[in-house]
Amino acid sequence: MKIVLIGGEKIAYHLARRFLTKGHNVMLVNKNERFCDEMAKKLRAIIVRGDGSKRYVLEQLELDPTDLFVALTPYDQDNLVACLTASRVYGIERPVAMVNDPDNKAVFEKMGIKSVVSPTEILGVALEDSLFREHITNLLPSSEKVSILRIEMTDKSPILGEAIKDIPLPDESVIGAIVREDEVVIPRGNTVIETGDVLLVLSSPTVQSSVFETLLGEV
């Protein structure tokens, strides 16, 4: 198995260096001649100059279905084409695509590219977490599918005194438990939120900002 990094320059360089130190075989594909020359001097990786979204370039790579194929160009359309070609023509089992515009993530997934990474979303979640750091802990920080948030209710929370059923949480989130003093409360619709409650909230990462705003108010 080899790791094939398409485009990306800086991020490709740092990823390549990381994988090489772990003993992996790495191939960098980039159409920038200057970058390719620089990488050939810095890294013990296979360097291919060319546009990784083009089939005639991918033909040179001797791709195997078990290879890790990652598209990192600054153009979402090129990343989509590269991943679709790798998957449909060369049988790559799970190509990974970076999306620069988070709105394009759904398009990639609809086209069958299931491993999609949005740096904007990742940074946004990290910034939101830091804004609320005093009152929030993400118990599953590395998961892209679900977040389990530990959120402490202060006297400034806009939902104090409200019943669970009246709290307008996003559809893709739910309050799973409440730690109240030394007890764990499994909430029902008529359970009322009190100061000092610690809510354990299951949430899709995509709606975290709405969860924060609903439970803690705007910063």
Q: Which residues contact 85 (CB under 8 A, 6 or more apart)?
A: 53, 55, 58
pLDDT at 126 over 90: no
Length of the chain: 219
Between the CA of residue 37 and those of 18, 26, 33, 34, 71, what are the distances in Å? 19, 16, 6, 5, 20
Cross-strand pairs, 149: 138, 201
What is the phi/psi pair of residue 175, to 5°? -85, 110
Domain architecture of the chain: domains with CATH = 3-121 (3.40.50.720), 129-216 (3.30.70.1450)
Q: What is the pLDDT of residue 209?
A: 84
Token representation of residue 146: 């679900």
Reported confidence tier of residue 29, pLDDT bands at 50, 70, 90 = very high
- pLDDT reported for residue 145: 65
Q: What percent of the chain shows pLDDT beyond 90?
A: 61
pLDDT over threshold 70, residue 137: no
Provide the whole-model pTM. 0.63
Residue 131's pLDDT band (cuts 50, 70, 90): low
Which spans in 132-197 are helix H?
none
Rounded to whole angstroms, how far apart are CA atoms 86 and 177? 44
Q: What is the pLDDT of residue 141?
A: 54
pLDDT tens by residue, 207-216: 888 898 899 8
pLDDT of amino acid 219:
46
CB atoms near residue 74 (< 10 Å): 12
* pLDDT above 70 as % of the chain: 89
Across-strand partners of 71? 6, 97
- Report residue 57's pLDDT band, with 50, 70 and 90 as the boundaries: very high
DSSP 72: -
Question: Is pLDDT above 60 for 132?
Answer: no
User: What is the per-residue pLDDT across 66-118, written as a single tens digit (0 to 9) for each?
Assistant: 999 999 999 999 999 999 999 999 999 899 999 989 899 999 999 999 899 98
Mean pLDDT lowest for which of 59-73, 122-136, 143-157? Answer: 122-136
User: What pLDDT is stored for residue 191 in this prediction?
Assistant: 93
- Per-residue pLDDT at 129 exceeds 60: no
Task: Please state, in angstroms and as integers, the Cα–Cα distance from residue 131 to each residue in 55, 124, 213, following that order.
Answer: 45, 11, 11
Residue 194: pLDDT over 80: yes
